[in-house]
Amino acid sequence: MDEIAAASSKVLKKEGDKVLQYSTTEGYRPLREYIAKNYSRKGLKVQAEEILITNGSQQCLDLIGKIFVNKSDGVLLEQPTYLAAIQAFSLFEPQFKSVPLLKDGVDTEYLQKTLLKDDIKLFYAVTNFQNPTGITYSKNKRKEMAEILESHNTVLVEDNPYGDIRFMGEDLAPVKSYIPESVLFGSFSKIISPGMRLGWIVAPEEMMDKLIIVKQASDLHSNYFAQRVVYQYLQDNDVENHIQKIRKLYKDAKGSDGGCYRKSIPSGSGIH
């Protein structure tokens, strides 16, 4: 709280007349550049122009639904999957299909059969510490999945809210590094503050044009003051040291309860 308070005070004193005004739909460019540089250290080369700041990663789901999903379109989900993704996509009345998860990621044989049988527009996946199972896709599974999706022209929507708080195993490049035309979500909720409601979408520029239009119609832009405070916080503090503290906290918590929290898809969700 002290660091956030200091960042807020600095931003207001330095540029209060600007940070309390309207801003661009795309988001504060230096913050988008910071995100792009962070991805480059993880093996994914993207530009600031390919990043859109959103109201948490939940808005990412809504925006993607708006530009991709029409009534009765095929939307493929992991089984089980993130409940809020079902809620967000359900507004657009798609035909949900599901593919089971194995210990190292999605069942690629089942994925291939599903894509051959059904017309699937997009596939939503949480590739790091999947919610609710906690599994992480292996490097081989990421490559296999990428090859299958590309061959069927199905858009991958990769959600990665937990990647930065890994407390065991090795960091793996996003599946987007194998499919440049896919979509990737990120969030500051798990490493700085969920209350700030700041996330982002990484998407190809031709897709980004449509996302900006629907984002502008939805809310003009995400909280500009929060964007500036987060960016100032990132500049003034050792974020990696902060993340290490979070990782230790999660690792200790996992050890105390014997495993990850799990939940299943509720009945009536429309998943089959």
**Domain locations in the chain?**
2-257
Query: Distances in Å between the alpha carbon of 89 and those of 59, 61, 105?
Result: 11, 7, 22
Q: What's the confidence (pLDDT) of residue 42?
A: 86
Topology, domain 2-257: Aspartate Aminotransferase; domain 2 (3.40.640)
Neighbouring C-beta atoms of residue 119, cutoff 10 Å: 12
Among 189, 167, 191, 171, residue whose Cα is nearest residue 239: 191
Q: Which SS3 state, helix, strand or coil, does residue 53 take?
A: strand
Neighbouring C-beta atoms of residue 100, cutoff 10 Å: 11
Given a contact cutoff of 8 angstroms between Cβ atoms, the answer to whether 143 and 153 are in contact is no
Structure tokens at 23: 């801003």
Q: What's the confidence (pLDDT) of residue 255?
A: 65
Q: What's the confidence (pLDDT) of residue 256?
A: 55
Q: What's the confidence (pLDDT) of residue 146?
A: 97
Among 3, 65, 22, 37, residue whose Cα is nearest residue 191: 3
Q: What's the confidence (pLDDT) of residue 137?
A: 96
Contacts of 241 (CB under 8 A, 6+ apart): none
Q: What's the confidence (pLDDT) of residue 259?
A: 44
Helix intervals (H) in 94-223: 108-117, 139-152, 205-219
Please identify every stretch of the chain with a pLDDT value under 70, giving residue numbers as ranges: 255-272
Q: What is the pTM of this model?
A: 0.90
